[in-house]
């Protein structure tokens, strides 16, 4: 096992084989997002380790991420807040569309910006302690890290509006029912399942993973005709490389494929 750290004060990066385990490390702030943590995430996803095939993202000290560090929010002007929101959007897009599958192991707070961060990842696992919440409206502010797009697409605008108006909290089981999480596990079980699923995902062909990450959500934004065309393009690209040949040979030879 090799280790590297983008900024160990806020984000620990631990390479376990071809899986990069990213742990947010601001325990005194329930891993709230500040500029240093956002910058560390940006640095990792801009230039991930060459041998990384999947990522597990999690928190420490009982929490995933409690959202924006409000002690920093009050220091920003209107213009600065606009630019800061757009910087969040850039990093969340980098996570969602960068090409590396990201699995979130969630416990404790996945609140506000923490929920925005979680919904930029591709597989979400929640423990019983998990709290999904968007409390911004009850603090006199509005979401700015992408919730209206990512959380809104999952819940629908009507349910997200109610969630924000009332400050409603959802637990792990409710999160699975609503689509905020894909798996609910027992206490302490999120990281183990995240590693198991990340290992399975890492064994897929890299181009297949890339297409699943980049094509499906974009097709959801398109008309039926445009979506079907992009599906055909994605199929053509993924099926024309050596990994597709290896996958077919492995199937015919009744063995596990060995992709690049």
Beta-sheet strands, E only, within the chain: 2-7, 11-16, 19-24, 54-58, 102-106, 109-111, 123-126, 131-133, 169-170, 183-184
Q: Which of 136, 173, 196, 231 is catalytic?
A: 136
Q: How far apart are CA 31 and CA 18, in angstroms?
A: 25
**Domains detected in the chain:** 2-202 (3.90.226.10), 206-252 (1.10.12.10)
Hunting for tokens 């015919």 — which residue is that?
252
**pTM greater than 0.85:** yes
Q: Give pLDDT tens digits for 140-162.
A: 899 999 999 999 999 999 999 99
pLDDT digits (tens, 9 = 90+) for 152-205: 999 999 999 999 999 999 999 999 999 999 999 999 999 999 999 999 999 999
Is 260 strand, coil or helix?
A: coil
Helices (H), 70-171: 70-73, 78-97, 113-118, 147-155, 157-166
Catalytic residue among 72, 116, 187, 196: 116
Beta-bridge partner residues of 104: 57, 124
Distance CA 88, CA 145 (A): 5
Q: What's the sign of the alpha-carbon dihedral 43, 45, 49, 55?
A: positive
pLDDT at 48: 97
Query: Average pLDDT of the chain?
Result: 93
- Reading phi first (left if > 0) and then psi (alpha if -120 to 50, else beta), residue 70 is in alpha
Six token digits for residue 81: 């807040």
User: Is 80 marked active-site?
Assistant: no
For the stretch 58-113, pLDDT in tens is: 999 999 999 988 877 667 889 988 998 999 999 999 999 999 999 999 999 999 99
Q: What is the pLDDT of residues 5-45, one digit of tens each?
A: 468 789 999 999 999 999 999 999 999 999 999 999 999 99
- Would residue 116 show up in a list of annotated catalytic residues for this protein? yes
Distance CA 118, CA 116 (A): 6
């Amino acid at each position: 096992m090799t280790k590297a750290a983008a900024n160990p004060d806020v984000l620990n990066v631990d390479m376990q084989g071809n899986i990069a385990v990213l742990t947010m490390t601001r325990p005194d702030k329930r891993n709230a997002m500040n500029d240093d943590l956002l910058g560390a995430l940006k640095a990792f996803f801009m230039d991930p380790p060459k041998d990384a095939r999947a990522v597990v993202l999690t928190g420490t000290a009982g929490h995933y991420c409690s959202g924006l560090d409000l002690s920093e929010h009050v220091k920003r002007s209107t213009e600065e807040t606009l630019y800061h929101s757009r910087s969040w959007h850039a990093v969340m897009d980098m996570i969602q569309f960068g090409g590396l599958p990201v699995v979130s192991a969630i416990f404790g707070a996945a609140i506000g910006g923490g929920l925005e961060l979680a919904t930029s990842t591709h597989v979400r696992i929640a423990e019983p302690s998990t709290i999904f919440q968007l409390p911004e409206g009850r603090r006199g502010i509005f979401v700015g890290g992408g919730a209206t797009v990512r959380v809104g697409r999952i819940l629908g605008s009507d349910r997200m509006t109610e969630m924000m108006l009332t400050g409603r909290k959802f637990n792990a089981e409710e999160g699975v029912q609503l689509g905020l999480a894909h798996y609910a596990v027992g206490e302490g079980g999120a990281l183990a399942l995240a590693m198991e699923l990340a290992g399975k995902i890492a064994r897929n062909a890299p181009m297949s993973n890339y297409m699943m990450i980049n094509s499906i959500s974009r097709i959801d934004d398109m008309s039926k005709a445009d979506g079907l065309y992009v599906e055909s393009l994605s199929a053509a690209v993924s099926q024309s490389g050596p990994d597709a040949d290896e996958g077919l040979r492995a199937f015919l030879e009744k063995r596990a494929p060995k992709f690049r």
